């Protein structure tokens, strides 16, 4: 079973769409982006979110206090990190979340994949013993481009049940991506938008495709 995440919620209309089509995860972006939301915006939007959908906060080198406060207030349930956060940062974030809430925040750590196989292998080795709960493989923050899926060793224990696949996924290549890689989850954002806003018809199309794998 492959899960689905739709990132970049910024309007009540977006929440209404995902509540209707029930992806497994949604993303609130707190980093610099056209989809960026404030603490108060995310708080309001999350209050309308179906309780079966997991809200994820997306961050780039963010101060831990904001992440922990969002987690403590129930606005997010996962943290997705896309900056230069190292293993110490991740472990400290988890420790602080336990200290403030009694619960450990799950972390999705982003690994940016170039089409240089040597660079790719070095990045994997770096995170082999990470405290991260999941990894998201992408070609770059919001690039909207795919990377060479053939670089991934599909039999590696490193990837078992922990990978979100992102970067350029859309209705035309989603089946191929899943068949070639079989990730834990797929992550989409710009491909379910029209003119910078979430498009219900595109979300419906993606969810219809994903019904074959869920």
Distance CA 203, CA 133 (A): 27
Which residues have a catalytic role annotated? Answer: 7, 138
| CA nearest neighbour of 141 among 7, 19, 5 | 7
Q: Give me the residues paired with residue 111 across strands.
A: 137
Residue 16 vs residues 12, 99, 117, 201: alpha-carbon distances, Å: 6, 34, 41, 13
197-198 and 193-194 beta bridge pairing:
antiparallel
Residue positions counted in the chain: 214
Distance CA 195, CA 214 (A): 29
Token code pair at residue 19: 């509540």
């Amino acid at each position: 079973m492959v899960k689905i995440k739709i990132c970049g919620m910024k309007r009540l209309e977006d929440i209404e769409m995902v509540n209707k089509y029930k992806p497994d995860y949604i993303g609130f972006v707190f980093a610099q982006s056209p989809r960026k939301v404030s603490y108060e915006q995310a708080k309001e939007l999350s209050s309308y979110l179906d309780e079966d959908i997991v809200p994820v906060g997306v961050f780039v080198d963010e101060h831990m206090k904001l992440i922990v406060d969002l987690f403590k207030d129930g606005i997010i349930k996962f943290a997705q990190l896309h900056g230069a956060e190292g293993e110490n940062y991740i472990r400290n974030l988890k420790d602080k979340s336990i200290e403030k809430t009694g619960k450990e925040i799950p972390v999705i750590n982003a690994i940016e994949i170039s089409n240089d196989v040597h660079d790719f292998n070095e990045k994997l080795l770096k995170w082999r013993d990470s405290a991260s709960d999941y990894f998201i493989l992408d070609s770059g923050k919001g690039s909207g481009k795919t990377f060479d899926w053939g670089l991934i060793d599909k039999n590696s224990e490193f990837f078992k049940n922990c990978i979100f696949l992102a970067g350029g996924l859309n209705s035309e290549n989603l089946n191929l991506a899943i068949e070639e890689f079989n990730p834990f989850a797929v992550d989409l954002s710009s491909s379910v938008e029209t003119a910078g806003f979430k498009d219900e018809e595109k979300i419906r199309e993606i969810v219809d495709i994903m019904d074959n794998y869920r």
